[in-house]
Amino acid sequence: MHALIIDDDDDIRWVLKRVLRAEGLEVSEAGTLAEAMDTLAGNEIGLVFLDVYLPDGNGMQWLDAHHLDMPVVVLTAESTFDHAVQAFKHGAIEYLPKPFDLNEVRALVTRLRPRTTSKAAMKPAQQANTVLIGRSPAMQQLFRTLGRVAASDLTVLITGESGTGKEMVARALHEQSPRANKPFVAINTAAIPADLLESELFGHERGAFTGADKARAGRFEQADGGTLFLDEIGDMPLALQAKLLRVLEEGRVQRIGGNQPRPVNVRLLAATHQDLPNKIRRNEFREDLYYRLNVIPVHIPPLRERKDDIRELAQFLLDQSARELNMQPPILLDDAIAQLEKHTWPGNVRELKNVMRRLAVLTPGASITLSDVALALGQARLADEEETISEAITRCTRNYLMQLGYAKATNLYHYVLEQVEPPLLRLALEQCNGNQLRVAEMLGLNRNTVRKLLRKYGIDPQDYRP
């Protein structure tokens, strides 16, 4: 197979040429689109590697105009989801962000070598409003998957921890789909009581139940022609799962109290932070619905597993917060970024967004320092300084509240007690060699109270005896 590399960077062409020749390919080079046209006219090219920004034009626009009858791999330094989608929509068969992994290039050649697939006609990409950011390998793989399925009507199941951005991914898929000019309707199935969820999804007729003083279209009808996003699908009651499955299979919805099914045309996207296969084993989720939803599985990795993305994400979210507040964004110093990268981010991107908003508002100077970040993360002092018990409890409780994001804290008093009591009991048992009477005296509690607490937390005093 004969490959053509179109890139104005000599180093990129040199590296690619070596890898491709080692894989047994004949290789030609071009530094401009004009040179590429001459090479294509005089050779039988079977594979093209195309840069986006070239001295005499935009590679993707050129690709769209010339309808090349061979696989095209787009090379770009702008590793965003929007660029990935545009590459696929303009007819590329693959997308490689710079700097690329040479092993990935070798695997790509192996996959494409037997192919002679021509480019299908694609309509121009629409401008996305939702921004997905990430240079890490995991996010780049996610962008590729989303880019391939965005233009289809395939059902996508988005999984990931709370705060990773599952709704953002769903919105991005909608904005890059042929349904972009139609409604995007989102509903969190965990946030609506089970007895109201059926009406929310399927609608109801007047008089269907007490309080139904007028007919109301459900979310399926509201999303007709567009996209319906069902967030936290794992919390949907089993009885309602059966009705949802029927709507998906028949493409019709029947309002509560109605007798006339209504056709609906929606693309369904679903998301959950739960382990659905495990819920299936516990008979808490229908297996047939799972397979109906899981046509294209998409997993969003937690932020702690893609720390390479924190610098770019933090800067973007800081600039965004400053724009919303109509203020000049402070400068994010390197030591502040290093402190952000050390954090485990249990609240994921949602937590990072809240922290950057807090920094945009509260940073006293023109730049954000390590100490500013420590305070924004709820760290009263840095790790190498002394911290009182009160400060430690305040810091940890504040972090817990930050992890909740926009959720409402409940039973906070009992939650804090349950976090403090077990380690306090264990420390006292260590100091008293498991003697419960001495533990009671040390803690200032009744001996029976100590016994109850030990039973409550499953702590065996025998484990602490010499």
The highest-level CATH class for domain 2-123 is alpha beta
pLDDT, residue 391, reads: 65
Extents of the domains making up the chain = 2-123, 152-206+215-299, 306-404, 412-464
Q: Are 189 and 229 in contact (CB under 8 A)?
A: no
CATH architecture under which domain 306-404 falls: Orthogonal Bundle (1.10)
Rounded to whole angstroms, the Cα distance separating 177 from 150 reads 5
Task: Report residue 117's pLDDT band, with 50, 70 and 90 as the boundaries.
Answer: very low
Q: What is the pLDDT of residues 43-73, one digit of tens each?
A: 888 889 999 889 988 888 888 787 777 888 8
pLDDT at 383 over 70: no
Does residue 125 register a pLDDT over 60?
Answer: no
At 415-430, the pLDDT tens digits run 888 888 888 998 899 8
Give the CA count within 13 Å in the CB-facing half-sphere of 268: 24
pLDDT exceeds cutoff 60 at 402: no
Distance CA 377, CA 340 (A): 9
pLDDT mean over 234-245: 93
Is the pLDDT at 244 greater than 90? The verdict is yes
Over residues 379-406, the mean pLDDT reads: 60
Architecture of domain 152-206+215-299: 3-Layer(aba) Sandwich (3.40)
Predicted local confidence at residue 303, as pLDDT: 93
- Is the pLDDT reported for residue 124 higher than 50? no
Residue 447 has pLDDT above 60, yes or no: yes
Please give the biggest Cα pair distance in the chain: 93
Share of the chain above pLDDT 70, in %: 89
Residue 14 has pLDDT above 70, yes or no: yes
Burial class (CB in 10 A: 0-12, 13-18, 19+), 129: exposed
- Decide: 256 and 241 in contact? Cβ < 8 Å: no
Residue 216 CB-density burial (10 A; 0-12 exposed, 13-18 middle, 19+ buried): middle
Interatomic CA distance for residues 137 and 463, integer angstroms: 46
Nearest to 190 by CA among 157, 226, 233: 233
Query: Does position 169 have pLDDT exceeding 90, yes or no?
Result: yes
- Whether this prediction's pTM lies above 0.85 is answered by no
Query: Is 90 exceeded by the pLDDT of residue 262?
Result: yes
Please, which pLDDT band fits residue 317 given cuts at 50, 70 and 90?
very high
> Is 386 or 70 the better-scoring residue by pLDDT?
70
Mean of the pLDDT values across residues 269-295? 95
Q: Chain-wide mean pLDDT for the chain?
A: 84
Average pLDDT over residues 16-34: 88
* CATH code given to domain 412-464: 1.10.10.60
- pLDDT-derived band at 4, boundaries 50, 70, 90: very high
Q: What number is the average pLDDT over the span 160-186? A: 92
Decide whether 2-123 matches 412-464 in CATH topology: no
Residue 266 contacts residue 224 (beta carbons within 8 Å):
yes
Residue-wise pLDDT for 349-366, tens only, equals 989 988 888 888 777 667
Tokens encoding 52: 């986006």
What's residue 75's pLDDT?
Answer: 87
